[in-house]
Amino acid sequence: MRLPPIRRTPKRQVLPAEVGGECVFCAIVAGRAESSPVDDDGVGPVAFLDLQPAVEGHTLVVPRRHVPDLAGLTPEEGAAMWELGRRVAAAARRAGLADGVNLFLADGATAGQEVWHVHLHVLPRAPGSVLHLDAARPAERPALDVTAARLRDALA
């Protein structure tokens, strides 16, 4: 069975995967780029809200080390990413953002990967919600920060 390709909406902004020659996710992990953090223990993977959320609470989980794809992850890094994704999913439920959760990881250009630092999407789902993998516009930072705080509080 052949699956249809992931389609991009015309309204989606294509954001740079690098800023000043640096991977944007590496810059976020290092604190050199703005983000709305959800979880960062200083050792393992980092969770922060997606700038173009498909749904409220759309969180990205990235390994601290720059790894372009799944094949480059150590088993420990992969397990830590999955565990943080699981915790964020549970937090989204406790924060009232979800009754269910989708996890999505695009591995490679053909799969729709746009930033060459492996990342897991945690997508909270509510009854009747429609999931579009592409957002129409970037969210405003204050709104992202409020949602990130809800998720941080629910992770505690």
* Amino acid in the structure at residue 73: L
Q: Is residue 13 domain-resident?
A: no
Tens of pLDDT along the chain (156 residues) come to 444 444 444 444 455 566 667 899 999 999 999 999 999 999 999 999 999 998 899 999 999 999 999 999 999 999 999 999 999 999 999 999 999 999 999 999 999 899 999 999 999 999 888 776 565 567 899 999 999 999 999 998
Q: Is residue 68 domain-resident?
A: yes
Q: Is residue 41 domain-resident?
A: yes
CATH number of the domain bearing residue 66: 3.30.428.10
Catalytic residue, from 58, 119, 121, 132: name it: 119
Q: What pLDDT shows up at residue 18?
A: 63
Q: Which domain holds residue 125?
A: 34-155
Q: Is residue 130 domain-resident?
A: yes
* Strand arrangement of the beta sheet that strand 120-125 belongs to: 37-40, 46-49, 59-62, 120-125, 100-104
Q: Is residue 4 domain-resident?
A: no
Mutual orientation of helices 141-155 and 75-94 as an angle, nearest 10°? 100
Q: Is residue 21 domain-resident?
A: no
Which residues, 6+ apart, have CB-to-CB distance to 20 below 8 Å?
none
User: Sign (positive/negative) of CA torsion 150, 151, 155, 156?
Assistant: negative
Q: What pLDDT shows up at residue 1?
A: 44
Q: Has 119 been annotated as catalytic?
A: yes
Total domain count, the chain: 1
Q: Is residue 38 domain-resident?
A: yes
Q: Is residue 57 domain-resident?
A: yes
**CA atoms of 10 and 136, how far apart (whole Å):** 8
Q: What pLDDT shows up at residue 131?
A: 73
**CA atoms of 38 and 74, how far apart (whole Å):** 23
List residues bridging with 62 in a β-sheet: 46
